[in-house]
Amino acid sequence: MSALDGRLFVGVDVGGSSVKAVVTDDARNVLSQVQLPTDASDANALLTSAATAVDRVLDDVGDAKTVAGIGIGVPGQVDPATGVVRMAMNLNIGDEGVPIGTSIADRFEVDTTVENDVRAAAVGAFEALQPRTPDLHTLVYLSIGTGVSAGVVVGGELFRGRDGLAGEIGHVVVDEDGPECACGLRGCLEAVVAGPALRAMWPSVDGKHARDLYRAAAAGDATAAAAAHRLTVRLTETVQWLAIAYGADLLVMGGGVGSLGEPLLSPIRDRLSAFADRSELAGRMVPPDRVVAMPTGHPTGAIGAAVLARERLGDGRAGSKGGQEARTAATGSDGGGST
């Protein structure tokens, strides 16, 4: 028995267009989930969006008093010690920062932890895939959407690196003559394979540029096929760098583009298979069947945030260590009721 038996955990994934929230029980089952549009017009509107998602998802389960912890995944540079997020361009948050951790902790009077959204999603992917991957030790999560970023989980532990920036690969310059990036450089990886680059590659009436690009390529459009191939080459290279650098058991793609599934995944695996056919070493380093994608709509980030909230309170996976900076996040007075 643990002090957390019977308690609930809320995970929130604050994105540029939507806020997703889940409630999980102490056995890690998802009891409820909601998705609301994000209002990022200013800091207060953003905090209200996050709080409303928590309210709604708790309405579904009925008994907010049994909530032991809230975890929040949010884009940008997160200080887990203070729960402040900075430099989240798609949320209009600059260097002045927004104290999302203390805001939520004070409002709900529940222990609250904050992590970068992609790092939280890496934890969520590990949580989702571990039961069917018995030898899973090291997982690298590659998020491709508006931007590109990665998160790394080693032995069940989130690997944060200096300033929590381990995996922040979207601003590696891969083509100095490439398009301008929002960060001020030219030809960053994310400027070449995500966001505006995808918009430039193929039109879409509903903003699903990558999906429509792959559909057109499959339908035989030569221009689309050429663009999709360039994307495949760049993404395969990214997958190889990450999988080999971390010795990953699984390389998991996610995000709005990364979770497109087979249209995106198959050409990458085909390319890796071709490398494996030519080189036994290449095949061992990145086995094509070890590159997978989270399904569209899976609340990976919100689930990961709930896992981080639970781990912070000492109910982590085997091998989890307490007392790390990542677990000393913004804390409200714990009015969570009886156990």
* Least distance to Zn ion, CB of residue 92, Å: 18
Name which of 36 and 174 has its Cβ closer to Zn ion.
Answer: 174
Nearer to Zn ion, 189 or 251 (CB): 189
Site residue total, Zn ion (CB under 5 A): 5
Minimum CB separation of residue 116 from Zn ion in Å reads 16
Residues in Cβ contact with 136 at an 8 Å cutoff, skipping those fewer than 6 apart? 126, 129, 130, 249, 250
Output the smallest distance, CB 160 to Zn ion, in A. Answer: 21
Let me know: does 61 contact 39? Beta carbons within 8 Å: no
Site string for Zn ion, 128-167 (x = CB under 5 A): ----------------------------------------
Q: Please say which residue, 174 or 185, places its beta carbon nearer to Zn ion.
A: 185
Q: Which residue has the tokens 């999980």?
A: 24
Strand partners, 73: 13, 115
In the complex, least distance from residue 147 CB atom to Zn ion, rounded to whole angstroms: 9
Residue 186 vs 230, nearer CB to Zn ion: 186
- CB within 8 A of 319, min separation 6: which ones? 155, 156, 157
Fill in the per-residue mask, 168 to 187: x = in contact with Zn ion (CB under 5 A), - = not in contact.
---x---------x-x-x--
Measured CA to CA, the distance from residue 187 to residue 246 in angstroms comes to 24
Stretch of residues binding Zn ion (CB under 5 A), selected from 140-148, 161-169, 188-196, 218-226: 188-196
- Does 188 bind Zn ion (CB under 5 A)? Our answer is yes
**CA-angle at 117, arms to 250 and 286, nearest 5°:** 15
Question: In the stretch 306-325, what mask flags binding to Zn ion with x, by CB under 5 A?
Answer: --------------------
In a 10 Å sphere around its CB, with 0-12 CB exposed, 13-18 middle and 19+ buried, how is residue 333 labelled?
Answer: exposed
Least distance CB 191 / Zn ion (angstroms): 6
Cβ closest to Zn ion, residue 188 vs residue 276: 188
User: Shortest gap between Cβ of 185 and Zn ion (angstroms)?
Assistant: 5
For residues 73 and 96, what is the distance between their CA atoms, to the nearest angstrom? 19
Question: Please, what is the minimum distance in Å from the beta carbon of residue 173 to Zn ion?
Answer: 8
**Choice between 191 and 303, CB closer to Zn ion:** 191
Residues 85/43, Cβ–Cβ less than 8 Å? no
Q: Which of residues 4-23 bind Zn ion (CB under 5 A)?
A: none
Binding site residues, Zn ion, CB under 5 A: 171, 181, 183, 185, 188
